[in-house]
Amino acid sequence: MLSSEKLKIGLIGGGPGSFIGAIHLNGALMDGMFELVAGAFSSNPEKSKQRGEELMLDPTRVYASYDEMFAKELELPESERIDVVAIVTPNNVHFDPAVKALKHGFHVALDKPLTLNYQEAKDLYHIVKASDKRFLLTHTYSGYPMIKQAKQMIAEGEIGKVRKVYVEYPQGWLWKLLESENNKQAEWRTDPKRNGLAGCMGDIGTHAFHLAEYVSGEKVSAICADLYIKIEGRPIDDDGVVLMRFENGASGVLTASQTDTGAENNLRIRIYGEKGGLEWQQELNNTLIARWPDAPAQILRAGTGYLGSLANENTRTPAGHPEGYVEAFANLYRNFARCIYAERAGEIPKPEWEDYPGIEDGIRGMAFIDHVLKSNESDTKWTPFIVEK
């Protein structure tokens, strides 16, 4: 079914100590469809070199900058050259490498949120749309099989018309001024210049927003945002809530915090419709609870025989053998790869493979950030949510 050769990745970012860079690799490599062949791992050439050694790369393909990577790779024969550029840098280094990668003819996998700001997002949107290359935005949580099951059940009408969406994303790691304690992650994520103007809402609120729309299948039409800086001295929000109204009349509540002291990462979504409800939480990601008004709730489990095609195409173990966060990443990468392979083979990718987040999700996420910041400043309760492209 799949043809001939692994997809060759050139990685931008993911230097020594990076969290998300390593996870992208775990996910991309797991299924044997990708190989890492090149990288510009850090703006510091020494660190880039060090990371290249750790990753056992050919030193001639470890670059001091992504510009160098693009230049040198393009000199290689097409059969050796990288196919995909994966970008795992801070948000201020998303736009430029993504645009260049596309222009040089590489597929792009980019960590979320799309860009540093809304203007970049709008520009990138048109570049991606005009390109014939594939574009993956790693909204991880939409890679979980039971999230996909929820999406499919709702799309197929199992809970009826959606009335209500609750999504909560509690973290606690920024419970103190960690950015003053030499923590790299905390430093850039609380720095408006590298992270953008929305802190918590940009980093994890966008995940929650994406999940709300992805699972419900409904689009937000208005919001009411209330952001907080809970830790004195922090320049951007670390906590907040966004009320939502959807085009179909449903309502929603999105909470996100990085100062819920002691909380880990238990993203949780609950969607209720006219006939039933679905509940999922990330720390128990292999389980989806379905609730019904006059019958016992059901525990749907990943890897079972009774799930729909979306879940089935996004799992690799039988029931009771937990898959996790890395597999969610791997699902995004695997679907991205399957589509590339299918097109190479002149085939039409399965709809289940096309179900990975991309530029439409990206621009909506940046619109979310933009509208949340505006609504937070406003004394008026509701701000219409209109995505400009």
Binding positions for a copy of itself, 55-94, rule CB under 8 A: 55-56
- H or E segment and range at residue 129: helix 118-130
Contact call for residue 241 and a copy of itself (CB under 8 A) = yes
Q: What is the DSSP string of 29-96?
A: HHTTSEEEEEEE--SSHHHHHHHHHHTT--GGGB-SSHHHHHHHHHHS-TTTS-SEEEEES-GGGTHH
Find the binding residues for a copy of itself in span 89-118 (CB under 8 A).
none
Contact call for residue 176 and a copy of itself (CB under 8 A) = yes
Cα 249 from chain centroid? 26
Amino acid identity at 260: D
Contact call for residue 261 and a copy of itself (CB under 8 A) = yes
Q: Output 34 or 95, the one with its CB closest to a copy of itself.
A: 34
Q: Is 298 exposed, middle or buried (0-12, 13-18, 19+ CB in 10 A)?
A: middle
Contact call for residue 384 and a copy of itself (CB under 8 A) = no
Question: Using CB under 8 A, which of 42, 89, 152, 171 touches a copy of itself?
Answer: 171
Q: How far apart are alpha carbons 276 and 357 in whole angstroms?
A: 26
Distances (CA, A) of 371 to 90, 211, 329: 22, 17, 28
**Residue 292-311 contact track with a copy of itself, rule CB under 8 A, x = bound:** xxxxxxxxxx--xxx-----
Q: How far apart are alpha carbons 216 and 89 in whole angstroms?
A: 30
* Among 104-112, 165-173, 342-350, 351-359, the segment contacting a copy of itself (CB under 8 A): 165-173
What minimum distance in Å lies between the beta carbon of 294 and a copy of itself? 6
* Among 62-70, 193-201, 225-233, 346-354, the segment contacting a copy of itself (CB under 8 A): 225-233
* Among 31-39, 69-77, 131-139, 150-158, the segment contacting a copy of itself (CB under 8 A): 31-39
Contact call for residue 165 and a copy of itself (CB under 8 A) = no
Q: Output 28 or 98, the one with its CB closest to a copy of itself.
A: 28
Closest CA to 228 of 199, 202, 187: 199
Contact call for residue 127 and a copy of itself (CB under 8 A) = no
* Among 22-30, 94-102, 123-131, 359-367, the segment contacting a copy of itself (CB under 8 A): 22-30
What minimum distance in Å lies between the beta carbon of 21 and a copy of itself? 12
Closest CA to 83 of 104, 100, 56: 104
